[in-house]
């Protein structure tokens, strides 16, 4: 991955989302909020901001509606609580969403965290694994029937874009530590306190996301669901604000030289969700280009981990919800 990121061209002209609806998780800041703004300026009719803090979400809604480029289009914006660190909240969200939004055209899975320290989640898993991976698998498991029905009603596939990271290719601990050699399960390996380097934790969680996307895509009908994953590169957001001061200063210096603006990052997410065609189904987009499956995932060890991860994830999901046909 080059230090200096390539230039990104703006979105093509002529995109009109009139009559379309979208749901964005992690929508109250950074890339989620910027993606919301861009979709609304493209004439999106209905938007659901899925947020942990409803007061903050309402403030974001008011700010968006105060934008003249948005208010002139008279969109409908709704706030729906979603705490991805709480499985009960995820289930409640999945039950409520179809009640307030009968049909959805676009789902953007943007919520995520980056942590150096091992933090336990209330769900019993490590927090990065829960927030970045398991929460999204639970959302997909509980929403798939609704998303498929939406496609039948609109006559067009529902678009799901999951925000991933190319860090899963270059920073993961898996090739060196072989979790299935040292542990009885992949999730056990990731949940353990001392097995993962702080600098691999984020990449490892994003590796799980990519593997799940590659496993799920062949199981859904692309005429009903188009699922892709996109990495917008290094973007100048607050995702590194959790770092200790000495690390944050260094990262901020790198950002000053290398990071893209939030607007450019938003272009790439919107491109994956709206512009990329059915050929992007089951594919990982680096910027706007489809990337080859990572060397590790293609390896024999990687394929074994991917298969085991799918089985383990289904076991976890069955504890919480009834699986749709595509996941059985």
Task: Give CATH for domain 21-322.
Answer: 3.40.50.720
CA atoms within 13 A on the CB side of 239: 22
- Edge-first strand order for the sheet with 76-81 is 76-81, 46-51, 21-25, 106-109, 158-163, 225-231, 283-286, 289-291
Identify whether the C-beta of residue 144 lies closer than 8 Å to the C-beta of residue 217. Answer: no
Which residues are marked as active site? Answer: 202, 206
pLDDT of the chain, 328 residues: tens digit per residue:
677 899 999 999 999 999 999 999 999 999 999 999 999 999 999 999 999 999 999 999 999 999 999 999 999 999 999 999 999 999 999 999 999 999 999 999 999 998 888 999 999 999 999 999 999 999 999 999 999 999 999 999 999 999 999 999 999 999 988 899 889 999 999 999 888 888 899 999 999 999 999 999 999 999 999 999 999 999 988 766 666 665 666 666 766 777 899 999 999 999 999 999 999 999 999 999 999 999 999 999 999 999 999 999 999 999 999 999 999 8
What span, in angstroms and rounded, lies between the C-alpha atoms of 9 and 25?
25
- pLDDT, position 182: 86
Instruction: Map out the domains of the chain as residue ranges.
Output: 21-322
Identify whether the C-beta of residue 127 lies closer than 8 Å to the C-beta of residue 119. Answer: yes
| Nearest Cα to Cα of residue 195 among 183, 206, 205 | 183
Q: How far apart are the first and last CA of the chain?
A: 37
How do 106-109 and 76-81 pair as beta strands?
unpaired
């Amino acid at each position: 991955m080059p230090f200096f990121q390539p230039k990104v061209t703006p979105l093509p002209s002529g995109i009109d989302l009139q009559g379309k609806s979208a749901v964005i998780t992690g929508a109250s800041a950074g890339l989620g909020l910027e993606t919301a703004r861009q979709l609304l300026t493209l004439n999106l009719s209905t938007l659901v901001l899925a947020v942990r803090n409803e007061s903050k979400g309402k403030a974001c809604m008011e700010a968006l509606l105060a934008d003249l480029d948005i208010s002139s289009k008279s969109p409908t914006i709704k706030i729906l609580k979603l705490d991805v660190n709480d499985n009960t909240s995820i289930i409640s969200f999945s039950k409520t969403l179809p009640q307030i939004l009968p049909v959805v055209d676009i789902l953007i899975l943007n919520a995520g965290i980056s942590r150096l320290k091992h933090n336990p989640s209330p769900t019993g898993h490590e927090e990065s694994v829960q927030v970045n991976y398991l929460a999204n698998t639970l959302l997909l498991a509980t929403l798939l029937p609704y998303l498929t029905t939406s496609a039948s009603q609109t006559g067009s596939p529902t678009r799901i874009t999951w925000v991933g990271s190319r860090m899963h290719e270059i920073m993961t601990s898996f090739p060196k530590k072989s979790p299935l050699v040292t542990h009885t399960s992949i999730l056990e390996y990731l949940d353990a306190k001392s097995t993962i380097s702080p600098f691999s934790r984020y990449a490892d969680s994003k590796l799980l996301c990519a593997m799940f996307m590659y496993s799920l895509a062949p199981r859904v009908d692309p005429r009903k669901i188009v699922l892709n994953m996109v990495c917008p590169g290094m973007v100048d957001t607050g995702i590194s604000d959790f770092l200790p001061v000495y690390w944050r200063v260094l990262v901020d210096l790198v950002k000053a030289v290398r990071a893209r603006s939030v607007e450019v990052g938003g272009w790439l997410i919107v491109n994956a969700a709206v512009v990329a065609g059915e050929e992007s189904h089951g594919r990982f987009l680096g910027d706007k280009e489809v990337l080859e499956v990572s060397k590790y995932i293609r390896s024999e060890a990687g394929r074994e981990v991917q298969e085991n991860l799918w089985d383990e994830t289904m076991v976890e999901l069955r504890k919480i919800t009834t699986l749709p046909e595509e996941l059985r």
